Structure 1
Amino acid sequence: MSTIHAVARSARLLGLVGLAVFGLVSGAALTGAEAATLTHVRQEAIYSPTLVQSLARDGILKAEIHGSPVGGADAGQIAAQVPGPAFLANVRVEPREGRNRLVLVFNPVQITNPDSLCSVASSGAIPTTGPGGMQVQAALCLGDTAISRAVLQGPAVPSVEDPAFRQSMGELISSLIPLRSPHDSSRCLVPGC
């Protein structure tokens, strides 16, 4: 009889553990652990990691930043949380002027055609809304031409120092500035990719 009781007790314990795990998973899903979504990702035939390396002279990838994911964050604070391309270890993103640059538009009032984001940004300020959810239009620009573009949509973040913001920006940059050109496998910066 004691063996039967031990088996029954183990089954009840496993059932309780299963319910507890289900509750934790369900609770995490209900607390807003939303993931960011990337869309409109595209690189032109001219895109290559070698070209990106030439744009990031002196370890700096110039960035033009419009708007903010949270109130009060300036371009310098935002850029400090945006990682450089993964294949260029010592490159950082900095807000600087230049024709060849990374353009980031946070929460635009109106969605800009991703193909024309570089030329619209060159013509002046892009109207943006205040914080709320987070939408980011991004382009890597050679003058007024977007050689790579992407759009990210995600949940609001409390600050630019929030790990979720940095993770979202890392995903955006990895998609926008990939290690491998989708058009030509010989344009790979690192051997064997």
Structure 2
Amino acid sequence: MRLLKYLFVSVILLGLSSFDLPKAEESEVNWLTFEEAIALHEENPKKLLIDLYTDWCGWCKVMDRETYSQAEIADYINKNFYPVKFNAEQKESVEFKGHTFNYVAQGRRGVHELAAALTRNKLSYPTTVFMDEELRIIQPIAGYLKPQQMEPILEFIGGDHFKTTKWEDFQKNHKSSL
């Protein structure tokens, strides 16, 4: 009798565990390589959003899972930026603006020169780098950003508010859609 009760409870719990509870709508950022984004940019200039990450970075994975997967965030990025996912420890060279950026070994790990240039030699992971339509760095933002933190930043830069409005003033008037 006890075994039957155990099996019954197990089946009920198993059924409940597979029941999907409603969750925030998810979407995907259409990530590009740096080279793909530059090629698209040459045809149709647009701002770049570059996600600098490493394979070992836990917060990078959290940001992918919790921020970039949010439908509002992913949709805004896809519409207003060429989104680039760039491994700051990749070994492949990158040609950009007449310069070859290489991987530089440093002990057990190393760093890609492009990652160092994009962060102005202040490497931290994750870092989100924004570039304008002229491929100039607007701002690197180091650290994990929650969706509620990322949304106003995307709108500030994506909507060109950074050209005419102070960040503090923009924040005061920003209405979140999250």
Does the pair score TM above 0.5?
no
Q: Give me the TM-score of the superposition, normalised by structure 1.
A: 0.27
Q: Give me the TM-score of the superposition, normalised by structure 2.
A: 0.28
Q: Higher helix share goes to which structure?
A: 2
- Which structure carries more relative contact order (alpha carbon 8 Å, separation 6+)? 1
